[in-house]
Structure 1
């Protein structure tokens, strides 16, 4: 296998991840604080979780941009890619699982008491979450650490990526553009379908959870990111201020849609807004891209995965110690600052070194000398 050097990351695309993670955290945690401040949220709490869609699109984009070694879907490259993804996401994911474990245990004990059934549920939910299978059913998607469902979906996307990458690598611009349009439709149709359900079903949680969580219904967003990266790599031009202004407009539109649009309209509008935002940031040179690509924002973006995974369990622990954190603006702001600091520490002391160690160990184990083969063997 010929090894091709990876392209360096685009700093602004790393920085924007923190804004998406912050939106999701506010969606999960801030409703009581907003009520305390008498802030009218409009449709914020219907839509502020939708930046997970931005994560999925960005994931497809970044993987396509930075992983030329999966060209041709060669088996060694595929294995290396899979392990690289595992090394990147699983240490922090496992940390979140461990941090949440006492909470799920206490919840199950409060609901079902001590007994075999409680421990069976705990073992089942724990195993499903550990193996990243929880998003496939509505009863397990949120059964452990709530944000973990998106990693369950990402695991499917990662499994499919080498084959999607190979299939899409040499497609024409018209084909890639058509696929993006198709993915847009696919992302909207499930939510549109909900509005045609009988009223009794519309009031049930499981149809919405089915649409939001099932990986098969979300993979179009990931595919769109791959197509967008192929278009970017094929048509990349000199970075200009025009794209920076385009990114600023797309970011402003995204924020406005999240606040003022109903959920169906948000699903229709956020997909193209996110696509435009990412493409423009990749091509931008100006104040916004400089801000998002600055060292502090890049660090926040790198720590955003830990921020995303830990925000729900740490908030629950914070409420045990500081009961007013859910309603006091100052305490809530202090929590977000503390969460950010903890996330940075986790990134620097756990995610980054463990990822590097695991990837190095894998490369060493796969080297010809480690397998007792001559250096020239293939």
Structure 2
């Protein structure tokens, strides 16, 4: 995703033919949404039954996990939004009205619901706007899907695949004057209700995985590597419609195989350095666009030359790890502890033995 947002000028300077890379590289956010459904199902069995205390705790836990770094990205991006709006509208009342509107709707994680606001603040933040909808629906989806048969779960995954592909397929059949309209493509790409199928498929995959036991085997390691290679090939070589159709099943298989894998690939991904990078990846994702904008102001060559660009990626990785260790992790722990303390019997005026 970072290469998609940051590297086109570097690739051009090296004479690298990207094929369909920049047309399709926004699609791997599907993997993020599928993975989200999978991981939440695996790690939050307490929401079963959608009972109010467990649901409230789940919602607050999600808030504590994502919002501190999301807010950091919002703050870092704010001067860039102000500068951009000032260049377009001057220092008028309209500037401050737009700034307030975009700022509030982004803080509330509502920006993905309209094409004009989806990427108006920190571009990657639109996916968190979609995730907020997924998180809100998760306890009820989890309960509904918990005891479904293998056949039902597989059928639902197929339905989710169709639901994911049909909007893009529909665009290809519209007259070019409409199908190529910016607002319509943004609507298809960003509207949360059109992306929730990917999240539901992740929940279904986790239910299938949990229903089959947790045995891990080497052949799944090999299969995971093959699925990863296939996904990369599709991103680079397939046109957008074909990529949209093929990446969904490739990502589904990749996650399932990785969950069952036992071999060099899975051991490498489970090593301490890779786990740390994975934990810092959210900060990397949220911060890569604004920090790149600032870096280009100070060092224009980071956008066009491979060595400075690589240096920026390394610096961004270091900043992301620091942000995870010093902001995300401690604030998440603090907020979750504060919530549990506030909900304890003593804090709400009940005797400790009360039920």
Shorter-chain TM-score range:
over 0.9
Task: Measure the CA separation in 2 of the matches of 1:203 and 1:278.
Answer: 33
Deviation for aligned residue 1:376: 1.8
Determine the structure 2 residue equivalent to 1:197. 174
Determine the structure 2 residue equivalent to 1:125. 102
For the pair 1:329 / 2:306, whether they are aligned, the reply is yes
TM-score w.r.t. length of structure 2 = 0.99
For the pair 1:282 / 2:262, whether they are aligned, the reply is no
SS across alignment from 1:99: helix
Contact kept? 1:42, 1:260, Cα under 8 Å: yes
SS across alignment from 2:181: coil
SS across alignment from 1:26: helix
Contact kept? 1:236, 1:283, Cα under 8 Å: no
Equivalent position to 1:243, from 205, 220, 227: 220
Contact kept? 1:33, 1:327, Cα under 8 Å: yes
Task: Measure the CA separation in 1 of the matches of 2:347 and 2:117.
Answer: 41
Equivalent position to 2:61, from 56, 59, 84: 84
Determine the structure 1 residue equivalent to 2:186. 209
SS across alignment from 2:41: helix
Deviation for aligned residue 1:236: 2.5
1:1-378 equivalence runs, <5 A: 24-378=1-355
Task: Measure the CA separation in 2 of the matches of 1:178 and 1:328.
Answer: 48
Indicate the larger mover: 240-249 or 230-239: 230-239
Per-residue CA deviation, residues 216-238 of structure 1 (Å, 9 max, x unaligned), is 00000000000000000000242
Structure 1: gaps of 5 or more residues: 1-23
Structure 2: gaps of 5 or more residues: none
Determine the structure 2 residue equivalent to 1:7. none
Deviation for aligned residue 1:101: 0.2
Task: Measure the CA separation in 2 of the matches of 1:199 and 1:369.
Answer: 64
Task: Measure the CA separation in 2 of the matches of 1:79 and 1:117.
Answer: 39
Per-residue CA deviation, residues 259-304 of structure 1 (Å, 9 max, x unaligned), is 0000111111101110101001001000111111111111111000
Per-residue CA deviation, residues 116-156 of structure 1 (Å, 9 max, x unaligned), is 11000000000000000000000000110000000000000
SS across alignment from 1:373: coil
Per-residue CA deviation, residues 2-51 of structure 1 (Å, 9 max, x unaligned), is xxxxxxxxxxxxxxxxxxxxxx1100110000001110000000111211
Per-residue CA deviation, residues 57-113 of structure 1 (Å, 9 max, x unaligned), is 000000000001101100000000000000000000000000000000000111100
Deviation for aligned residue 1:115: 1.0
Deviation for aligned residue 1:197: 1.2
Determine the structure 2 residue equivalent to 1:18. none
- Following TM superposition, the consecutive aligned residue runs of length 4 or more in structure 1 with deviations greater than 2 angstroms are none
Deviation for aligned residue 1:372: 1.5
Equivalent residues, number: 355
Task: Measure the CA separation in 2 of the matches of 1:203 and 1:151.
Answer: 26
Contact kept? 1:53, 1:221, Cα under 8 Å: yes
Indicate the larger mover: 47-56 or 218-227: 47-56
Contact kept? 1:153, 1:214, Cα under 8 Å: yes
Task: Measure the CA separation in 2 of the matches of 1:237 and 1:81.
Answer: 24
SS across alignment from 1:38: coil
Indicate the larger mover: 216-225 or 291-300: 291-300
Task: Measure the CA separation in 1 of the matches of 2:167 and 2:313.
Answer: 33
Task: Measure the CA separation in 1 of the matches of 2:49 and 2:299.
Answer: 54
Task: Measure the CA separation in 1 of the matches of 2:272 and 2:244.
Answer: 32
RMSD: 0.6
SS across alignment from 1:195: helix
